[in-house]
Protein backbone atom coordinates (compact mmCIF):
# COMPACT_ATOMS: atom_id res chain seq x y z
CA UNK A 1 0.00 0.00 0.00
CA UNK A 2 0.93 3.66 -0.39
CA UNK A 3 2.39 5.57 2.53
CA UNK A 4 -0.06 5.62 5.48
CA UNK A 5 -2.04 8.81 5.95
CA UNK A 6 -1.28 10.79 9.10
CA UNK A 7 -4.12 12.98 10.38
CA UNK A 8 -1.66 15.55 11.72
CA UNK A 9 -0.19 16.02 8.23
CA UNK A 10 -3.67 16.66 6.85
CA UNK A 11 -4.30 19.13 9.66
CA UNK A 12 -1.07 20.99 8.89
CA UNK A 13 -2.02 21.15 5.18
CA UNK A 14 -5.39 22.74 6.01
CA UNK A 15 -7.43 19.88 4.58
CA UNK A 16 -10.03 20.32 7.36
CA UNK A 17 -11.12 23.85 6.38
CA UNK A 18 -14.50 23.97 4.65
CA UNK A 19 -16.57 26.82 3.22
CA UNK A 20 -18.75 29.32 4.99
CA UNK A 21 -21.72 27.79 6.76
CA UNK A 22 -24.21 29.71 4.61
CA UNK A 23 -22.75 28.15 1.45
CA UNK A 24 -22.75 24.55 2.56
CA UNK A 25 -24.51 21.63 0.90
CA UNK A 26 -26.69 19.65 3.36
CA UNK A 27 -25.54 16.38 1.75
CA UNK A 28 -22.09 17.05 3.22
CA UNK A 29 -23.47 16.89 6.77
CA UNK A 30 -22.01 13.39 7.48
CA UNK A 31 -18.50 14.72 6.79
CA UNK A 32 -18.75 17.94 8.83
CA UNK A 33 -17.20 17.75 12.30
CA UNK A 34 -18.16 21.14 13.70
CA UNK A 35 -18.62 24.83 12.97
CA UNK A 36 -16.09 27.43 14.03
CA UNK A 37 -16.13 31.18 13.28
CA UNK A 38 -18.78 30.71 10.61
CA UNK A 39 -16.75 28.01 8.80
CA UNK A 40 -17.45 24.29 8.68
CA UNK A 41 -14.66 21.98 9.86
CA UNK A 42 -14.32 18.66 7.98
CA UNK A 43 -13.92 15.42 9.93
CA UNK A 44 -10.40 14.33 8.97
CA UNK A 45 -10.90 10.75 10.14
CA UNK A 46 -13.60 10.34 7.51
CA UNK A 47 -11.31 12.03 5.01
CA UNK A 48 -8.61 9.43 5.74
CA UNK A 49 -11.10 6.57 5.29
CA UNK A 50 -12.32 7.97 1.95
CA UNK A 51 -8.76 8.59 0.72
CA UNK A 52 -7.80 4.99 1.45
CA UNK A 53 -10.92 3.70 -0.31
CA UNK A 54 -10.32 5.86 -3.38
CA UNK A 55 -6.60 5.02 -3.44
CA UNK A 56 -7.31 1.30 -3.41
CA UNK A 57 -9.80 1.63 -6.28
CA UNK A 58 -7.38 3.73 -8.36
CA UNK A 59 -4.61 1.22 -7.73
CA UNK A 60 -6.78 -1.61 -9.11
CA UNK A 61 -7.66 0.42 -12.21
CA UNK A 62 -3.99 1.21 -12.84
CA UNK A 63 -3.05 -2.45 -12.31
CA UNK A 64 -5.55 -3.41 -15.03
CA UNK A 65 -3.67 -1.22 -17.53
CA UNK A 66 -6.42 1.36 -18.07
CA UNK A 67 -6.11 5.15 -17.96
CA UNK A 68 -7.37 7.64 -15.37
CA UNK A 69 -8.11 11.19 -16.57
CA UNK A 70 -7.31 14.02 -14.13
CA UNK A 71 -9.36 17.21 -14.45
CA UNK A 72 -8.57 20.49 -12.66
CA UNK A 73 -8.92 23.90 -14.32
CA UNK A 74 -8.86 26.13 -11.23
CA UNK A 75 -5.75 28.22 -10.71
CA UNK A 76 -4.70 26.64 -7.40
CA UNK A 77 -4.80 23.10 -8.78
CA UNK A 78 -3.49 23.42 -12.37
CA UNK A 79 0.22 23.02 -11.77
CA UNK A 80 -0.14 20.44 -8.99
CA UNK A 81 -2.44 18.17 -11.02
CA UNK A 82 -0.21 18.46 -14.10
CA UNK A 83 2.91 17.45 -12.13
CA UNK A 84 1.24 14.55 -10.34
CA UNK A 85 -0.38 13.29 -13.55
CA UNK A 86 2.95 13.28 -15.33
CA UNK A 87 4.47 11.39 -12.41
CA UNK A 88 1.69 8.81 -12.64
CA UNK A 89 1.91 8.73 -16.49
CA UNK A 90 -1.78 9.57 -16.81
CA UNK A 91 -3.62 12.07 -19.08
CA UNK A 92 -4.88 15.35 -17.63
CA UNK A 93 -6.81 18.49 -18.53
CA UNK A 94 -5.85 21.74 -16.80
CA UNK A 95 -6.84 24.48 -19.28
CA UNK A 96 -10.46 24.16 -20.33
CA UNK A 97 -12.78 21.21 -20.44
CA UNK A 98 -13.56 20.69 -24.14
CA UNK A 99 -17.29 20.08 -24.48
CA UNK A 100 -17.95 16.51 -25.57
CA UNK A 101 -14.55 15.32 -24.42
CA UNK A 102 -16.12 12.03 -23.31
CA UNK A 103 -19.53 11.92 -25.02
CA UNK A 104 -18.08 12.97 -28.39
CA UNK A 105 -14.68 11.37 -28.07
CA UNK A 106 -14.45 10.54 -31.80
CA UNK A 107 -14.41 14.25 -32.71
CA UNK A 108 -11.80 14.97 -30.06
CA UNK A 109 -9.62 12.24 -31.52
CA UNK A 110 -9.89 13.93 -34.93
CA UNK A 111 -8.50 17.11 -33.41
CA UNK A 112 -5.63 15.14 -31.91
CA UNK A 113 -4.93 13.62 -35.33
CA UNK A 114 -4.68 17.15 -36.77
CA UNK A 115 -1.75 17.81 -34.45
CA UNK A 116 -0.09 14.59 -35.59
CA UNK A 117 -0.65 15.60 -39.24
CA UNK A 118 1.04 18.98 -38.68
CA UNK A 119 3.99 17.25 -37.02
CA UNK A 120 4.34 14.93 -40.01
CA UNK A 121 4.26 17.92 -42.38
CA UNK A 122 7.13 19.51 -40.50
CA UNK A 123 9.16 16.30 -40.62
CA UNK A 124 8.75 15.51 -44.34
CA UNK A 125 9.27 19.14 -45.45
CA UNK A 126 5.71 19.75 -46.71
CA UNK A 127 5.29 22.53 -44.16
CA UNK A 128 8.07 24.58 -45.75
CA UNK A 129 6.31 24.49 -49.14
CA UNK A 130 3.34 26.45 -47.73
CA UNK A 131 3.08 30.21 -47.97
CA UNK A 132 4.05 32.37 -45.03
CA UNK A 133 0.43 33.10 -44.13
CA UNK A 134 -0.57 29.43 -44.28
CA UNK A 135 2.38 28.44 -42.08
CA UNK A 136 1.35 31.04 -39.52
CA UNK A 137 -2.25 29.75 -39.48
CA UNK A 138 -1.13 26.15 -39.11
CA UNK A 139 1.22 27.07 -36.26
CA UNK A 140 -1.56 28.90 -34.44
CA UNK A 141 -3.93 25.99 -34.85
CA UNK A 142 -1.27 23.57 -33.62
CA UNK A 143 -0.51 25.72 -30.56
CA UNK A 144 -4.19 25.99 -29.64
CA UNK A 145 -4.74 22.25 -29.94
CA UNK A 146 -1.57 21.58 -27.97
CA UNK A 147 -2.74 23.85 -25.17
CA UNK A 148 -6.18 22.23 -24.87
CA UNK A 149 -5.53 18.63 -25.91
CA UNK A 150 -1.80 18.09 -25.71
CA UNK A 151 -1.96 16.09 -22.49
CA UNK A 152 -4.49 13.62 -23.94
CA UNK A 153 -2.78 13.08 -27.29
CA UNK A 154 -1.79 9.53 -26.32
CA UNK A 155 -5.23 8.59 -24.97
CA UNK A 156 -6.63 6.37 -27.73
CA UNK A 157 -9.84 5.37 -25.92
CA UNK A 158 -12.16 6.54 -23.17
CA UNK A 159 -10.63 6.57 -19.67
CA UNK A 160 -11.62 3.98 -17.10
CA UNK A 161 -12.19 6.73 -14.51
CA UNK A 162 -11.79 10.48 -14.00
CA UNK A 163 -10.46 12.36 -10.99
CA UNK A 164 -11.92 15.84 -10.50
CA UNK A 165 -10.87 18.71 -8.26
CA UNK A 166 -13.95 20.84 -7.39
CA UNK A 167 -17.07 19.20 -8.82
CA UNK A 168 -18.93 22.54 -9.01
CA UNK A 169 -16.37 24.00 -11.40
CA UNK A 170 -16.01 20.78 -13.42
CA UNK A 171 -19.74 19.95 -13.47
CA UNK A 172 -19.71 19.33 -17.25
CA UNK A 173 -17.00 16.68 -16.90
CA UNK A 174 -18.96 15.02 -14.09
CA UNK A 175 -22.17 14.98 -16.14
CA UNK A 176 -20.47 13.47 -19.19
CA UNK A 177 -18.85 10.75 -17.05
CA UNK A 178 -22.20 9.96 -15.44
CA UNK A 179 -23.81 9.63 -18.85
CA UNK A 180 -21.21 7.07 -19.92
CA UNK A 181 -21.13 5.28 -16.54
CA UNK A 182 -17.49 6.20 -15.97
CA UNK A 183 -16.53 6.16 -12.25
CA UNK A 184 -15.86 9.64 -10.85
CA UNK A 185 -13.33 10.31 -8.09
CA UNK A 186 -13.51 13.83 -6.72
CA UNK A 187 -12.17 16.20 -4.13
CA UNK A 188 -15.37 17.68 -2.63
CA UNK A 189 -15.66 20.65 -0.30
CA UNK A 190 -18.55 21.48 2.02
CA UNK A 191 -20.31 23.40 -0.77
CA UNK A 192 -20.36 20.39 -3.15
CA UNK A 193 -22.73 17.46 -3.48
CA UNK A 194 -20.93 14.16 -2.73
CA UNK A 195 -23.80 12.17 -4.26
CA UNK A 196 -22.81 13.30 -7.75
CA UNK A 197 -19.63 11.22 -7.66
CA UNK A 198 -18.76 7.59 -6.96
CA UNK A 199 -15.78 8.23 -4.67
CA UNK A 200 -16.03 11.50 -2.74
CA UNK A 201 -13.02 12.70 -0.73
CA UNK A 202 -14.13 15.44 1.71
CA UNK A 203 -11.33 18.00 1.78
CA UNK A 204 -10.48 21.63 1.19
CA UNK A 205 -10.35 22.12 -2.59
CA UNK A 206 -9.19 25.76 -2.50
CA UNK A 207 -5.82 25.50 -0.73
CA UNK A 208 -2.87 24.33 -2.82
CA UNK A 209 -1.34 22.46 0.13
CA UNK A 210 -4.54 20.50 0.67
CA UNK A 211 -4.83 19.63 -3.02
CA UNK A 212 -1.19 18.56 -3.16
CA UNK A 213 -1.56 16.33 -0.10
CA UNK A 214 -4.51 14.44 -1.54
CA UNK A 215 -3.11 14.28 -5.08
CA UNK A 216 0.26 12.93 -3.96
CA UNK A 217 -1.43 10.08 -2.11
CA UNK A 218 -3.57 9.23 -5.16
CA UNK A 219 -0.50 9.29 -7.40
CA UNK A 220 1.37 6.95 -5.05
CA UNK A 221 -1.58 4.54 -5.16
CA UNK A 222 -1.60 4.60 -8.98
CA UNK A 223 2.16 4.01 -9.14
CA UNK A 224 1.73 1.06 -6.82
CA UNK A 225 -0.88 -0.41 -9.17
CA UNK A 226 1.41 0.12 -12.16
CA UNK A 227 4.25 -1.57 -10.30
CA UNK A 228 2.06 -4.60 -9.56
CA UNK A 229 1.11 -4.79 -13.23
CA UNK A 230 4.76 -4.65 -14.28
CA UNK A 231 5.75 -7.37 -11.81
CA UNK A 232 2.88 -9.57 -12.97
CA UNK A 233 3.85 -9.06 -16.61
CA UNK A 234 7.48 -9.95 -15.94
CA UNK A 235 6.40 -13.05 -14.05
CA UNK A 236 4.10 -14.00 -16.93
CA UNK A 237 6.96 -13.66 -19.45
CA UNK A 238 9.29 -15.81 -17.33
CA UNK A 239 6.68 -18.49 -16.74
CA UNK A 240 6.52 -19.83 -20.36
CA UNK A 241 10.31 -20.08 -20.54
CA UNK A 242 10.40 -21.91 -17.23
CA UNK A 243 7.57 -24.23 -18.29
CA UNK A 244 9.35 -24.95 -21.58
CA UNK A 245 12.55 -25.82 -19.76
CA UNK A 246 10.70 -28.12 -17.37
CA UNK A 247 8.91 -29.79 -20.30
CA UNK A 248 12.22 -30.44 -22.07
CA UNK A 249 13.71 -31.90 -18.89
CA UNK A 250 10.69 -34.17 -18.40
CA UNK A 251 10.84 -35.28 -22.06
CA UNK A 252 14.52 -36.21 -21.73
CA UNK A 253 13.82 -38.13 -18.52
CA UNK A 254 10.96 -40.02 -20.15
CA UNK A 255 13.10 -40.86 -23.18
CA UNK A 256 15.84 -42.19 -20.96
CA UNK A 257 13.36 -44.31 -18.99
CA UNK A 258 11.95 -45.74 -22.23
CA UNK A 259 15.41 -46.77 -23.42
CA UNK A 260 16.19 -48.46 -20.11
CA UNK A 261 12.87 -50.30 -20.10
CA UNK A 262 13.11 -51.44 -23.73
CA UNK A 263 16.52 -53.07 -23.36
CA UNK A 264 15.43 -56.00 -21.09
CA UNK A 265 12.31 -56.59 -23.15
CA UNK A 266 14.38 -56.98 -26.34
CA UNK A 267 16.66 -59.44 -24.55
CA UNK A 268 13.74 -61.53 -23.32
CA UNK A 269 12.25 -61.47 -26.81
CA UNK A 270 15.46 -62.78 -28.32
CA UNK A 271 15.63 -65.56 -25.74
CA UNK A 272 12.00 -66.51 -26.42
CA UNK A 273 12.61 -66.69 -30.15
CA UNK A 274 15.63 -68.88 -29.57
CA UNK A 275 13.69 -71.34 -27.40
CA UNK A 276 10.80 -71.52 -29.86
CA UNK A 277 13.03 -72.57 -32.77
CA UNK A 278 13.92 -76.36 -32.88
CA UNK A 279 17.51 -77.27 -32.41
CA UNK A 280 19.27 -78.03 -35.68
CA UNK A 281 20.67 -81.56 -36.09
CA UNK A 282 24.39 -81.73 -36.42
CA UNK A 283 25.69 -81.96 -39.94
CA UNK A 284 26.79 -85.57 -40.79
CA UNK A 285 28.54 -86.79 -43.93
CA UNK A 286 26.20 -88.41 -46.37
CA UNK A 287 25.93 -92.21 -46.09
CA UNK A 288 26.78 -94.02 -49.37
CA UNK A 289 23.80 -95.57 -51.06
CA UNK A 290 25.57 -98.85 -51.90
CA UNK A 291 25.40 -101.51 -49.24
CA UNK A 292 28.68 -102.65 -47.76
CA UNK A 293 29.52 -106.32 -48.31
CA UNK A 294 29.71 -108.43 -45.18
CA UNK A 295 33.16 -109.08 -43.95
CA UNK A 296 34.31 -112.74 -44.60
CA UNK A 297 36.21 -114.70 -42.03
CA UNK A 298 39.94 -114.91 -42.51
CA UNK A 299 39.97 -118.67 -43.38
CA UNK A 300 37.48 -118.36 -46.21
CA UNK A 301 39.45 -115.57 -47.81
CA UNK A 302 42.58 -117.82 -47.91
CA UNK A 303 40.65 -120.73 -49.46
CA UNK A 304 39.33 -118.63 -52.20
CA UNK A 305 42.70 -117.32 -53.08
CA UNK A 306 44.03 -120.86 -53.39
Task: Band the pLDDT of 116: cuts 50, 70, 90.
Answer: confident
pLDDT confidence of residue 289: 45
Residues 3/217, Cβ–Cβ less than 8 Å: yes
* CATH of the domain spanning 1-99+158-251, picked from 2.40.270.10, 3.40.225.10, 3.40.50.300, 3.40.50.10490: 3.40.50.10490
| Cα–Cα–Cα angle for 82, 56, 17, rounded to 5 degrees | 60
Q: Structure pTM?
A: 0.71
Q: What percent of the chain has pLDDT over 70?
A: 76
Residue 225 clears pLDDT 50, i.e. is over it: yes
End-to-end CA distance of the chain: 139
Listed in order, strand segments (DSSP E) in the chain are: 17-20, 32-36, 39-42, 68-71, 92-93, 161-165, 184-188, 199-202
pLDDT confidence of residue 148: 81
Task: Tell me where in the chain the CATH 3.40.50.10490 domain(s) lie.
Answer: 1-99+158-251
Edge to edge, the sheet with strand 184-188 lists 92-93, 68-71, 161-165, 184-188, 199-202
Residue 12 clears pLDDT 60, i.e. is over it: yes
Average pLDDT over residues 75-99: 90
Select the more confidently predicted residue: 46 or 231.
46
* Residue 169 neighbours by CB distance under 10 Å: 18
Task: Tell me where in the chain the CATH 1.10.287 domain(s) lie.
Answer: 103-156
Q: Which CATH number describes the domain made up of 103-156?
A: 1.10.287
Select the more confidently predicted residue: 287 or 193.
193
Amino acid sequence: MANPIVVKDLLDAGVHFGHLTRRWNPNMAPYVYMERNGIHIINLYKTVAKMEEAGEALSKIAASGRKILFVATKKQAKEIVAQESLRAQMPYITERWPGGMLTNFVTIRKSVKKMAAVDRMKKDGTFNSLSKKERLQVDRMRAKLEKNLGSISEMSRLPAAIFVVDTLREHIAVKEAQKLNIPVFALVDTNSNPRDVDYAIPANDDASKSIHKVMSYMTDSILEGLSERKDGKDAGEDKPAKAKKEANTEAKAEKKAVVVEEAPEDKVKEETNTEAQPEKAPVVDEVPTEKAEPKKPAGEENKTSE
